[in-house]
């Protein structure tokens, strides 16, 4: 008998993404000359079922720049495993040429230079063109949205998610799961979910009071596609009430609940499902662990940790697909399902090069309609930058360096804290910074910038706590996201140690003195999960700071010393 | 320096200040185990404890336990000041040997369930529940 592995037809990154025409030096080939839409979309339709996966769009309707992380460390069994491989190691692992379109799309090196050649990425009108092309090959392809869609921009904030719902509705998804959507507050989430013409799924979305499945969210939905009964099971972000403010959605409880996931898989199989797909917002390492514990899942479409992988990762008999973030990628997964089981899989991670893929004018119009009422606000230029501004990285990124500088300066603090979120586009050196750009990296429903006093001991406790969310060896104890970003203070972290022993050598940068556990420091931060937090909105703090700077210039941040990487 | 509840609220990162190191099982927990087992050896077996990996709210953590064929099951929060949470006794006519409740946890710790089987033997299982400050999900 031929094993499933033999049927796996995964294209190697470089060749599958851009054909075999051998793209060389970025400097010789401008994006539009070297890449064509046909190359990006080229795919020999396979099997009888197609899945289209988008996830973690974070409100990004328009083309953007997005730099992938340099530092993305795995611990325990995940150490050195995908997706914890970056830069040259990542390119080597997938046979990607330096300076190629794939290198620009999936790694961080030479980002500013490559961005000038290859241009912006994303834009939901371009995403629509890709979806339409796949639907032309396979009209009944399933479009699945992994969540973190109704959050992350000026217009999304002002319309409480309506802009994203309107645009996504026009793309006609078949199902969705959730995370940041809940930070709109449960009343608004319920209202939007009730309006959706497609399925809102989450087997782990429970009623907090009774610890029973929440009525509004179904665990799964059946689809008949290509003569095959496909069951899509939803998995919302497990740690919403911990990572985000619980008081905003007190009626709901989440958790991984893999025993219930197993029960749901068994249930859909007993109802005749020939193919089981999990639409997940677990994060990649959690999905890997879940795939090893729950049997009977064919494909996990993975979201939350914003990883973009050119090949699925196989765990036992389950294939895990990671499709990036911020509208930068679409994954196409074709499945061959016969005799009641999945026999083969073909996959392509499609980077959305905005200058190469033609926008779908229908969706361009829908997007313009959402933005028009706010055009003046969005486009106002606040300043410009000489430094590449990006966010991704385990310990810091220049956007958060700038935000921490703004907090220290505008709020007269010793130390600043910025949450380790992974959303938010990049700005190239020489670019203007508009109000929209600032909101793209700060917009949220709990963005007030607090100012408070903390002892050195308590700051240490916070760093240890967040560090364990990232570097606990058991993925089920990780919440995703990155380390809280610290301004005004340096520290040393040994990622191999247990909680309580990772953080040392905390130093107040302005004096060079060690942080005294007993002493009190003024700390400014934002994105508190506590109800009743007071202070100005973070986007106003950052805007004021950038206005005063005129042109942003940042020094490299060397204040975190990482050990055990 | 001791942290007050007010300090914890003021920092803006979390609702509770309990997330330090995992707490160690207390002597009181050892006593509670000994009181239930009479010092008998406790093995592994068909006993399932379901608890969240990370508590959404350390003040009310849902846990459930099942041990087919058990006569009684105890649940211990091993590092709480008073570790004993519950003892469930099942009569011969019980349709299943399963129970659910909610417990309060003083911090990250192991929750332990021990069942006494019909033949008098004991089996146990445990689950680490993390109580965290939270606040930085991506």
CA of A15 vs chain B CAs: smallest distance (Å): 32
Residues 6+ apart with CB under 8 A from A92: none
- Is residue B87, in this structure, part of any structural domain at all? yes
CA A449, distance to chain mean position in Å, is 23
The Cα angle at residue A310 between residues A308 and A314, in degrees rounded to 5 = 95
Residues 6+ apart with CB under 8 A from A347: A10, A11, A311, A312, A319, A321, A331, A332, A333, A334
Nearest Cβ partner of A529 from B21, B100, B135? B135
- B9–chain A Cβ distance below 8 A for any pair: yes
Residue of B nearest to A502 (CA): B21
The two tokens of residue B62 are 């849902």
Nearest Cβ partner of A211 from B7, B62, B132? B62
d(CA B131, CA B58): 6
Please answer yes or no on whether B134 and A479 come within 8 Å at the CB atom: yes
Please give the pLDDT value at position A33. 59
Please answer yes or no on whether B12 and A422 come within 8 Å at the CB atom: no
Nearest Cβ partner of A423 from B19, B130, B138? B138
- A256–chain B Cβ distance below 8 A for any pair: yes
Please give the pLDDT value at position A4. 39
Please answer yes or no on whether B135 and A253 come within 8 Å at the CB atom: no
Please give the pLDDT value at position B25. 76
pTM reported for the whole predicted model? 0.91
Between the CA of residue A169 and those of A126, A197, A301, B137, what are the distances in Å? 15, 7, 20, 27
CA of A535 vs chain B CAs: smallest distance (Å): 11
B2 pLDDT exceeds 80? no
CA of A222 vs chain B CAs: smallest distance (Å): 28
First to last CA, chain B: 32
Q: What's the CATH architecture for A4-22+34-369? A: 4-Layer Sandwich (3.60)
d(CA A284, CA A286): 5
* Helix (H/G/I), strand (E/B), else coil: A145: strand
Instruction: Give the pLDDT confidence of A104-149 residue by residue, as tens digits.
Output: 999 999 999 999 999 999 999 999 999 999 999 999 999 999 999 9
B3, A465 contact by CB (below 8 A): no
pLDDT means per 10 residues in chain A (565 residues)? 38 33 38 76 94 98 98 96 97 94 96 95 98 97 98 98 98 98 98 98 96 96 97 97 95 96 98 98 98 98 97 96 98 95 95 96 98 98 98 97 98 96 97 98 97 95 94 93 96 96 97 97 95 95 98 96 94
d(CA A448, CA A158): 16
- Is residue B1, in this structure, part of any structural domain at all? no
Please name the residues between 47 and 76 in chain B that touch chain A, using a CB distance below 8 Å. 50, 52-57, 62
Between the CA of residue A491 and those of A457, A486, A511, B12, what are the distances in Å? 13, 9, 14, 21
Please give the pLDDT value at position B134. 65
Please answer yes or no on whether A419 and B136 come within 8 Å at the CB atom: yes
Residues 6+ apart with CB under 8 A from A283: A237, A302, A303, A304, A305, A475, A478, A479, A480
Domain boundaries, chain A: 4-22+34-369, 380-563
Query: By C-alpha distance, which of A95, A92, A94, A114 is closest to A105?
Result: A114
For testing the chain B interface, which of A530, A531, A536 should be mutated: the one with the most B CBs within 10 Å?
Answer: A530
Please give the pLDDT value at position A300. 98
CA of A24 vs chain B CAs: smallest distance (Å): 35
First to last CA, chain A: 42
Instruction: Give the pLDDT confidence of A469-514 residue by residue, as tens digits.
Output: 999 999 999 988 899 999 999 999 999 999 999 999 999 999 999 9
- Is residue B32, in this structure, part of any structural domain at all? yes
Q: Taking CB atoms and an 8 Å cut-off, how many pairs form between chains A and B?
A: 135
- B103–chain A Cβ distance below 8 A for any pair: no
DSSP code string of B30-79: HHHHHHHHTT--EE--S-EEE--SB-S-TTSEEEEEE-TTEEEEEEEETT
Residue, of A554 and B17, whose pLDDT is higher: A554
Q: What is the dotted CATH code of the domain comprising A380-563?
A: 3.90.780.10
Instruction: Give the pLDDT confidence of B67-112 residue by residue, as tens digits.
Output: 999 999 999 999 999 999 999 999 989 999 999 999 999 999 999 9
DSSP code string of A154-216: HHHHHTTTHHHHHHHHHH--SEE--SGGGGG-HHHHHHHHHH-SSEEB-TT-EETTTTEE-SS
Nearest Cβ partner of A243 from B9, B11, B137? B137
Please answer yes or no on whether A420 and B11 come within 8 Å at the CB atom: no
- Write the DSSP symbol of residue A65: B
CA A122, distance to chain mean position in Å, is 13
- Is residue B101, in this structure, part of any structural domain at all? yes
The Cα angle at residue A119 between residues A116 and A124, in degrees rounded to 5 = 160
Return the H-helix or E-strand segment holding A103: helix A101-106
For testing the chain B interface, which of A458, A480, A484 should be mutated: the one with the most B CBs within 10 Å?
Answer: A458
Please give the pLDDT value at position A398. 98
ipTM for the predicted complex: 0.83
CA A332, distance to chain mean position in Å, is 18
Please give the pLDDT value at position B136. 53
Please give the pLDDT value at position A257. 96
What's the CATH number where B85 sits?
2.60.40.2470
Please give the pLDDT value at position B132. 87
Domain that holds residue B67: 22-129
Please answer yes or no on whether A240 and B21 come within 8 Å at the CB atom: no
Between the CA of residue A557 and those of A137, A395, A400, A470, what are the distances in Å? 48, 10, 10, 20
For chain B, how many structural domains are there in total?
Answer: 1
Please answer yes or no on whether B137 and A465 come within 8 Å at the CB atom: no
- B20–chain A Cβ distance below 8 A for any pair: yes
- A51 forms beta bridges with A142, A333
d(CA A169, CA A174): 10
Return the H-helix or E-strand segment holding A363: helix A361-371
């Amino acid at each position: 008998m031929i094993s499933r592995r033999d049927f796996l037809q995964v294209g190697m990154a470089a060749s599958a993404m851009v054909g075999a025409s051998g793209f060389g030096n970025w400097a010789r080939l401008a994006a539009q000359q070297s890449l064509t839409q046909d190359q990006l979309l080229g795919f020999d339709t396979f099997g009888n079922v197609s899945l289209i996966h988008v996830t973690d769009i974070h409100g990004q309707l328009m083309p953007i720049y997005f730099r992938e992380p340099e530092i993305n460390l795995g611990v325990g069994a995940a150490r050195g495993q995908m997706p914890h491989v970056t830069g040259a190691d990542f390119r080597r692992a997938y046979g990607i040429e330096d300076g190629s379109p794939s290198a620009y799309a999936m790694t961080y090196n030479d980002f500013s230079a490559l961005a000038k050649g290859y241009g912006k990425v994303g834009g939901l009108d371009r995403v629509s063109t890709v979806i339409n092309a796949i639907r032309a090959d396979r009209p009944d392809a399933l479009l699945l949205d992994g969540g973190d869609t109704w959050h992350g921009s000026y217009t999304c904030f002002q319309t409480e998610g309506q802009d994203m719902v309107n645009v996504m509705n026009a793309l006609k998804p078949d199902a969705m799961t959730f995370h940041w959507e809940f930070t709109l507050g449960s009343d608004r989430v319920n209202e939007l979910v009730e309006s959706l013409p497609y399925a809102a799924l989450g087997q782990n979305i429970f009623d907090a009071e009774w610890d029973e499945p929440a009525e509004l969210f179904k665990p799964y939905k059946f689809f008949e596609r290509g003569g095959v009964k496909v069951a899509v099971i939803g998995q919302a972000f497990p740690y919403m009430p911990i990572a985000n403010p619980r008081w905003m959605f007190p009626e709901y409880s989440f958790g991984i609940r893999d025993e219930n996931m197993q029960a749901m898989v068994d249930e859909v199989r007993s109802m005749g499902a020939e193919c089981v797909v999990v639409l997940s917002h677990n994060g990649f390492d959690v999905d890997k662990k879940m795939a090893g514990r729950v049997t009977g899942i064919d494909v996990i479409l993975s979201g939350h940790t914003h990883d973009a992988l050119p090949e699925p990762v196989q765990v036992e008999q389950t294939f895990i697909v990671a499709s990036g973030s911020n509208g930068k990628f679409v994954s196409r997964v074709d499945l061959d399902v016969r005799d009641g089981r999945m026999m083969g899989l073909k996959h392509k991670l499609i980077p959305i090069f905005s200058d190469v893929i033609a926008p779908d004018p229908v969706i361009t119009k829908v997007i313009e309609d959402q933005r028009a009422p706010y055009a003046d606000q969005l486009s106002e230029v606040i300043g410009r930058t000489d430094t590449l501004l990006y966010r991704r990285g385990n310990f810091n990124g220049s956007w958060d360096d700038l935000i921490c500088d703004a907090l220290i300066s505008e709020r007269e603090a010793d130390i600043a804290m910025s949450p380790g979120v992974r959303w938010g586009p990049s700005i190239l050196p020489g670019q203007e910074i508009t109000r929209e750009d600032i909101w793209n990296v700060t917009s949220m429903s709990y963005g007030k910038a607090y100012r408070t006093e903390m002892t050195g001991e308590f700051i240490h406790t916070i760093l240890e706590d967040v560090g364990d969310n990232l570097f606990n060896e058991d993925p089920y104890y990780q919440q995703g996201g990155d380390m809280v970003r610290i301004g005004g203070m340096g520290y040393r972290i040994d990622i191999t140690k247990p909680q309580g022993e990772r953080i040392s050598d905390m130093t107040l940068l302005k004096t060079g003195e060690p942080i005294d556990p007993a002493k009190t420091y003024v700390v400014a931060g934002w994105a508190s999960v506590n109800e009743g937090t007071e202070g100005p909105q973070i986007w106003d703090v950052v805007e004021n700071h950038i206005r005063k700077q005129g042109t942003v210039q940042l020094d490299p941040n060397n204040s975190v010393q990482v050990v055990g990487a | 320096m001791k942290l007050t509840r007010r300090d914890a609220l003021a920092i803006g990162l979390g609702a509770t200040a309990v997330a330090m190191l995992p707490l160690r099982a207390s002597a009181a927990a050892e006593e509670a185990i000994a009181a239930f087992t009479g010092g008998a050896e406790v093995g592994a077996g068909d006993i399932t404890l379901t608890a969240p990996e990370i508590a959404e709210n350390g003040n009310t953590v849902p846990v459930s336990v099942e041990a087919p064929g058990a006569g009684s099951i105890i649940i211990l929060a091993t590092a709480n000041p008073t570790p004993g949470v519950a003892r469930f006794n099942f009569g011969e006519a019980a349709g299943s040997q399963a129970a659910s409740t909610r417990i309060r946890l003083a911090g990250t710790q192991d929750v332990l369930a021990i069942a006494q089987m019909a033949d008098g033997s004991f089996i146990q299982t445990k689950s680490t529940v993390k109580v965290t400050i939270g606040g930085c999900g991506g």
